[in-house]
């Protein structure tokens, strides 16, 4: 019993809570990203995602553990891809491009919404631990949403940006690239682990988030300050 009490006494509970908040925020961003892919594909005539049960807000259906871990560690990541059969689209390449664009668009809109709600809470909400915890969650949604949106716009197969860019290519080249997509994906993971994208993505994330803060009237310092539960609560 003594060792257990000592363990709990030295446990970084606020750090654990920060990790939990980050994980929930990441799951929200992942879920909305993949749901948007599937929904747009369905509206364009492809029932594949719907039949696979991917038009759902259940995060477990969309979860890729490696992608979630990268979101928590590097603030950029991915989810389990929604199945899409472009043969159902009236215009296959354009339909695939719109389907691909839907995911990052959902992330940016989610981040903007989280920033707007944060602004309202900061201006009018009561000062309490619960309020600050909500601000921490929303700021992480904004950060992870922008990070995931920007990362997926990189024109590197199999990310969404490649499908948007490749829609401009001739059919012969387009379908050949799709054939080797899974192998290029391995190279992508290696590049992420090596930190190749870290600096340019961090630069873009800062400017996009600062722009969102300016748009909704939230001091940018508040957004960055509210990333860490322990840092917040230690001020009160």
Instruction: Please give the positions annotated as active site.
Output: 34
For residues 4-27, one letter each, b for 16 or more C-beta atoms within 10 angstroms of the residue's C-beta and e for the rest, the string is: eeeeeeeeeeeeebbeebbbebbb
Distance CA 13, CA 15 (A): 5
Distance CA 27, CA 231 (A): 23
Closest Cα partner for 144 from 210, 211, 74, 192? 74
Phi first, then psi, for residue 26 (nearest 5°) are -65, -40
Contact criterion met (CB below 8 Å) for 227 and 160: no
Angle at 196 between CA 190 and CA 199, to 5 degrees: 145
Contact criterion met (CB below 8 Å) for 146 and 208: yes
Closest Cα partner for 36 from 10, 12, 16, 62? 62
DSSP at 87: G
């Amino acid at each position: 019993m003594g060792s257990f009490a000592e363990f709990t006494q030295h446990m970084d509970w606020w750090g654990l809570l920060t990790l939990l908040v980050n994980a929930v925020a990441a799951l929200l961003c992942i879920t909305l990203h993949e749901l948007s892919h599937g929904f747009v594909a369905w509206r364009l005539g492809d029932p594949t995602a719907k039949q696979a049960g991917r038009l759902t807000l259940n995060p477990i259906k969309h979860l890729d553990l490696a992608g979630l871990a990268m979101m928590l560690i590097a603030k950029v990541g991915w989810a389990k891809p929604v199945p899409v059969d472009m043969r159902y689209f009236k215009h296959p390449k354009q339909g695939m491009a719109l389907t691909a664009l839907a995911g990052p668009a959902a992330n940016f809109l989610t981040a903007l919404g989280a920033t707007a709600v944060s602004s309202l809470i900061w201006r009018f909400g009561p000062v309490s631990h619960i309020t600050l915890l909500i601000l921490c969650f929303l700021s992480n949604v904004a950060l992870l949403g922008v990070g995931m949106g920007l990362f997926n716009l990189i024109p590197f197969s199999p990310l969404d940006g490649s499908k948007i860019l490749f829609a401009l290519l001739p059919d012969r080249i387009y379908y050949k690239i799709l054939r080797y997509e899974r192998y290029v994906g391995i190279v992508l993971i290696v590049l992420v682990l090596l930190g190749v994208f870290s600096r340019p993505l961090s630069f873009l994330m800062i400017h996009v988030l600062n722009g969102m803060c300016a748009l909704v009237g939230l001091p940018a310092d508040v957004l960055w300050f509210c990333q860490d539960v322990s840092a917040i609560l230690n001020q009160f």
